[in-house]
Structure 1
Amino acid sequence: MDYIWIFVIVNTIEEKYFKSMGLKIKELREEKGLDQKSFAFYCEIGRTQLHMIENGKTNPRLSTLLKIATALEISVSELVEGK
């Protein structure tokens, strides 16, 4: 029974982290004046995938984060560190 609570806590922490990172990506993209479709194309990822990342609904691969960070002209570490 304790394992269930640990899973819920970890899952909640991850969910908050991915939402925070997604919001950061969205804010930085919008600062550059890019819509989702154009930015996704530039990053060579799908628009739906970008939408999922920006809304904290997925755990993006490192290679995807590298593409996004490069397009935003920041390092991956800047992208993934908390606010």
Structure 2
Amino acid sequence: MNTKEQQYFEKLGARIKQLREEKGLDQKTFAFDCEIGRTQLYMIENGKTNPRLLTLIKIAKGLEVPLKKLIDF
């Protein structure tokens, strides 16, 4: 992963974490509700992985926001 990609994934993860926390959702419960692993969510929120589109759709649905709100910053 190059530097630009890494920065993008860090921003994406920070955005997801911010939106999750604004809704008062803890990581474990939110991951369960989205049908993804807690470790996977942790890795996404910390910019350590490139999430699949289906995973981002599940997260957006769980946050009740359009997918665009996650990736457009």
TM range (shorter): over 0.9
What residue number does 1:21 align with? 12
**Runs ≥4 in structure 1, deviation > 2 angstroms?**
none
**Identical counterparts, % of pairs:** 66
**Structure 2, unaligned runs of 5 or more:** none
**Structure 1, unaligned runs of 5 or more:** 1-9
Query: Which TM-score applies when normalising by structure 2?
Result: 0.96
Larger Rg: 1
Query: Which TM-score applies when normalising by structure 1?
Result: 0.85
Give the root-mean-square deviation of aligned CA atoms: 1.0
Pick from 42, 55, 58: which aligns with 1:67?
58
Partner-residue secondary structure (3-state), 1:70: helix
Aligned residue pair count: 73
